[in-house]
Amino acid sequence: MSQQTDIGVLVTALGESREILGRYIEPGDRDAVDTVNHLLEILDDVNVVAALDRAGRRRALRMVELDNRP
């Protein structure tokens, strides 16, 4: 298992969250509770919370190149 950088963790979580919201805004049946639960699964993950906390304590974020792997 590869370890992601904090920025990688946050970018992955943001991408997954956008996909969930994208499906929610598409025409058709929606379930707001299910959508929020899926978002919480991603955004309340211990790795995401820790990465966000560390990033928030930094004075600056460096620009980094990310792999294109999912």
pLDDT digits (tens, 9 = 90+) for 34-57: 999 999 999 999 999 999 999 888
pLDDT > 90? residue 13? yes
Contacts of 7 (CB under 8 A, 6+ apart): 51, 55, 61, 64, 66
Of 14 and 4, more confident: 14
Per cent of the chain over pLDDT 90 is 64
Per-residue tokens: 65: 């190149």
Mean pLDDT of 25-41: 95
pLDDT confidence tier of residue 63, bands split at 50, 70 and 90: low
Q: In this predicted structure, what is the pLDDT of residue 1? A: 43
Q: Enumerate long-range contacts of 65-69, CB under 8 Å, 24 or more apart.
A: 66/7, 66/8, 66/11, 67/8
Burial, 13: exposed, middle or buried (Cβ in 10 Å; 0-12, 13-18, 19+)?
A: buried
